[in-house]
């Protein structure tokens, strides 16, 4: 079992949060899309859910986009950056490079 879950897109972490947060309140648009694809065993709840289908260009993993790798599919404006990373977003949704250094060290197995 794990306490934290890291969601990756094209080899980079786009969201890092506790398992409860990821399942109940995902912050990143990619995580929201992934979670919308998970079936719910209750047929009444499942019938009411809306699936999030991402639009936009699916990047080539061998030649990912510059800047934010999710920018070609992001429905939110903050990911439209061609250079650099998105502006500050909640810590649990920041790309790994923007996660606080102690959190990054824990994730990388460093002390």
For residue 95, name the pLDDT band (cuts at 50, 70, 90). very low
Backbone dihedral angles phi then psi of residue 13, each to the nearest 5 degrees: -75, 125
- Return the structure tokens found at 9: 């897109």
Residue 33 has pLDDT above 90, yes or no: yes
| Residue with token string 């599919």 | 73
Residues 6+ away with beta carbon under 8 Å from 88: 94, 98
Q: Model-level pTM?
A: 0.69
Task: Share the mean pLDDT of the chain.
Answer: 76
For residue 84, name the pLDDT band (cuts at 50, 70, 90). low
Cα dihedral value 24, 27, 32, 38, nearest 10:
-30
pLDDT digits (tens, 9 = 90+) for 6-31: 999 998 888 888 889 888 889 889 99
| pLDDT the model gives residue 78 | 55
CA angle 58, 19, 64 (to 5 degrees): 20
Distance CA 54, CA 25 (A): 18
């Amino acid at each position: 079992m794990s306490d934290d879950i890291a969601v990756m897109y094209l080899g980079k972490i786009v969201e890092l949060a506790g398992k409860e947060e990821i399942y109940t309140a995902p912050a990143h648009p990619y995580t929201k899309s992934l979670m919308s694809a998970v079936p719910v065993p209750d047929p009444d709840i499942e019938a009411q859910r809306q699936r999030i289908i991402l639009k936009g260009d699916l990047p080539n993993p061998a030649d990912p986009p510059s800047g934010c790798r999710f920018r070609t599919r992001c429905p939110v404006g903050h990911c439209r950056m061609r250079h650099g990373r998105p502006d500050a977003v909640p810590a649990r949704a920041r790309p790994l490079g923007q996660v606080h250094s102690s959190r990054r060290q824990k994730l990388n197995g460093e002390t």
